[in-house]
Structure 1
């Protein structure tokens, strides 16, 4: 599972845009982002909206499993499908476009629902420090375990099939 993170510090307020990749959407067409954790003070978050224009709730991120994040933003309606891109508007003083990492070196954590068989599963995806830059402050891909594990499993499976044919 992958998502992209694009920041823009050239606007006022600045923006952080989070979106599932086309590959993830093709694999899980009903997947949706429902929670985003940031290491940005809640007071620096002006607002959060999805592609439908819905306002997201912004609050304290205490009690999450991915290190100490400062802010949690969640959708008001978990039944929305395809809510991304999610745009977070921020007013960070002297912001260079990079996001601060937390104590576990995670920059952001994203909760994705409606994945797996019957769209009944969910997963958390995190991203650590990344130097990829698109000229506006950065574009970062967030790799998840199945992205790497599934192709490797397929190769091992093919090798096993071809080995059995030789015997």
Structure 2
């Protein structure tokens, strides 16, 4: 009985480890234009001025796509909620146009490469966007279909700073200037 239980537990452990090695989803990282990762919400001005951020797509699972890993993918950005608009660019000079819905474009992923795309966001109130990078349908040599095999999906909050968030630092700086100005006068 102990041998059967040990065999069963060992088999389940091997299956669980093999299962985690099979899946390898792509990763999407939000960065500023300098390449620094943005942690927290995307901050946009209330006047509708666009803010540009980078979306870095990495850890694409190339080994499933023979012979060299090259395959077609789709990058998309969708306004999930709020009165905001987005547009995307894969080269920084050509933009797909503003939308309050979803914008996407296809590209061919080449083995062992990571990709970086620009997203502009504007709005007049808080909201969320959903960013997705997904492999297109692919057919193996034996004719079986790999449908959306590898993908990365991230949701980001978009916020407009509230008045106190902006006013308090300005007031603090003005207060310090006033205090140091008075000390200089000897009062």
Same fold (TM over 0.5): no
Select the structure of larger CA radius of gyration. 2
Name the TM-score, length of structure 2 as normaliser: 0.39
Q: Which has the higher contact order (CA 8 A, sep 6+)?
A: 1
Name the TM-score, length of structure 1 as normaliser: 0.42
